[in-house]
């Protein structure tokens, strides 16, 4: 029996620009009494990655554009936050009462381009997504390998809504060392029927599994280690592989 | 430290109509060397639920309607399967080359109304979704309680694609004994900022976590026990709470 474990790493200090996340994770694992093993998956909330990379913006410094002011009036959102949402978007898809859905610069369809006010470190601050989450994941992975000699996978997670379903779930926005899919195409099922379409987005399921211990509020658990996941190691893989080309979208 | 465990229950026999899933789960847990505990979450693949409930259809018996034949020509899908997809749909949303997206009778936006050819038990058979997955979950939960005296939660899972993202993930289609959301609305974050919108669809994250051990192909693991999840017990909750009213849809 291959039992999976989801191990929370509690950290109640504020992450500051320049903080060494790989080192923090290794130290927390030691403190928690588990040593990092080969093939562990380390899940990191994007928020601490953004903070370590200085992607926290003080709203005082933002001057909203005319377009941001217009969208602010339409949505009831703070015009300075709207300005940041526009800067982080490659395209605005939907604007309405209380919501702005964009295609983020990373290619993710999301609310507010991922610009987030919760757990930002202060009332007048917001957190933007990391500039290149795959690179952020790789940096943490290399650092963990340097410190421990262990080869892990790293997944950066963030919270997303769904178009036809209530509630948010965690998805992967960056990865290193792991193939994002578990691929069943061309493989037989139990009856020998050859499966034609199934690719499981395993990194998204890993991000969701980690959220069960990480939480969204005051839990102070920005890291989790998932142990015993059956995944394919991959050095050249990217979270961008999960992005569906716009010309394949069935809903607009 | 509250470590979550995801324990696979391997079962390589075919599930037959009338099979007692609650009893099978209890016996498998004993055989696996873990006894079921209060507050465990038992995740069950919808496919075995459908099989136990006789929701497997032989295609030989199906006569496609004129509409099914037309959609079959447009999509390249077997007209008998299209007929079943139409019967299981409350509304057809998109029809195109190779795909039929419907609103299922349960209110879920999905491909093919959940009609599924893989692991159906034979080349000419397809599996339909359970008629009332919440009721199916409740039946299993009550049976486990009767046999063990333990009060667990039960989640029925199925695989879904996402409108703007490649790969499928597991979501919950039925539940018993668990509140589907972990609710942060009105709660403070680490900085005291009051969160206004966040409801985490924890049953979907549980279904995704379970999929990491269950798999989609020949894994023969239709059950998983998830231990130590922080969830709110609920006797009157339903998976229907996750359904977004159609008038709230932003994408059509």
Q: Which residues of B touch A10 (CB under 8 A)?
A: 1
What dihedral do alpha carbons B175, B179, B184, B186 form, nearest 10°? 140
Question: What's the confidence (pLDDT) of residue A194?
Answer: 80
CATH of range B57-126; options 3.30.420.40, 3.90.1660.10, 3.30.460.80, 3.40.50.800:
3.90.1660.10
User: DSSP string spanning B147-190?
Assistant: HHS---EEEEEEEEEETTEEEEEEEEEEEEEE-S-EE-TT-B-T
Question: What's the confidence (pLDDT) of residue B186?
Answer: 81
**pLDDT tens column, B234-251:** 999 999 999 999 999 999
Provide the token pair at B95: 């029809």
**pLDDT tens column, B85-124:** 999 999 999 999 889 999 999 999 999 999 998 888 888 9
- Percent of chain B past pLDDT 90, that is, above it, reads 86
Question: What's the confidence (pLDDT) of residue B1?
Answer: 61
Read off the pLDDT of each residue in A173-195 and give the average, rounded to a whole number: 89
Question: What's the confidence (pLDDT) of residue A121?
Answer: 85
CB pairs under 8 A between A and B: 244
Question: What's the confidence (pLDDT) of residue B235?
Answer: 96
**pLDDT tens column, B11-56:** 999 999 999 999 999 999 999 999 999 999 999 999 999 999 999 9
User: If pLDDT is split at 50, 70 and 90, which confidence band does A216 have?
Assistant: confident
Can you tell me which residue has the tokens 């849809």?
B249
Task: Give the start-to-end residue ranges of the domains of chain B.
Answer: 5-55+130-243, 57-126
Is-contact A233 A180, C-beta < 8 A? no
Read off the pLDDT of each residue in B151-164 and give the average, rounded to a whole number: 96
| Cα end-to-end distance, chain A, whole Å | 44
User: Which of A191, A217, A241 minimises the CB distance to B122?
Assistant: A191
Question: What's the confidence (pLDDT) of residue A193?
Answer: 81
**pLDDT tens column, A41-96:** 999 999 999 999 999 999 999 999 999 999 999 999 999 999 999 999 999 999 99
Fold of the domain built from segment(s) B5-55+130-243: 60s Ribosomal Protein L30; Chain: A; (3.30.1330)
B165 with A249: Cβ contact below 8 A? no
Q: Which residues of A touch B241 (CB under 8 A)?
A: 166
Question: What's the confidence (pLDDT) of residue B198?
Answer: 80
B120 with A166: Cβ contact below 8 A? no
Closest alpha carbon within chain B to A242: B166
Closest alpha carbon within chain B to A1: B8
Q: Does domain A5-54+130-242 have CATH number 3.90.550.60?
A: no
Question: What's the confidence (pLDDT) of residue B191?
Answer: 81
Region at A112 (left for phi over 0; alpha for psi -120 to 50; beta for the rest): left
């Amino acid at each position: 029996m291959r039992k999976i474990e989801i191990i929370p790493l509690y950290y109640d200090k504020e992450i500051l620009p320049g903080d060494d996340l790989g080192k923090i994770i290794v130290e927390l694992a030691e403190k928690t009494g588990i040593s990092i093993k080969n093939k562990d998956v380390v899940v990191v909330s994007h928020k601490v990655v953004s903070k370590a990379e200085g992607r926290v913006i003080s709203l005082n410094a933002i001057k909203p554009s005319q377009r941001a002011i217009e969208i602010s009036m339409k949505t009831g959102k703070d015009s300075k936050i709207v300005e940041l949402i526009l800067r982080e978007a490659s395209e605005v898809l939907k604007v309405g009462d209380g919501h702005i859905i964009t295609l983020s610069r990373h290619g993710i369809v999301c609310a507010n381009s991922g610009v987030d006010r919760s757990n930002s470190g202060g009332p007048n601050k917001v957190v933007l997504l990391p500039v290149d989450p795959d690179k952020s994941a790789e940096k943490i992975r290399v650092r963990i390998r340097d410190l421990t000699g262990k080869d892990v996978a790293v997944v950066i997670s963030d919270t997303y809504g769904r178009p036809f379903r209530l509630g948010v779930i965690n998805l992967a926005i960056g990865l290193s060392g792991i193939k994002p899919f578990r691929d069943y195409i061309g493989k037989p099922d139990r009856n020998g029927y050859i499966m034609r379409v199934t690719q499981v987005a395993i990194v998204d399921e890993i991000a969701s599994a980690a959220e069960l211990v990480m939480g969204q509020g005051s839990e102070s658990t920005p890291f989790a280690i998932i142990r015993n996941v059956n995944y394919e190691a991959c050095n050249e893989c990217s979270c961008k592989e999960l992005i569906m080309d716009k010309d394949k979208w069935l809903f607009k």
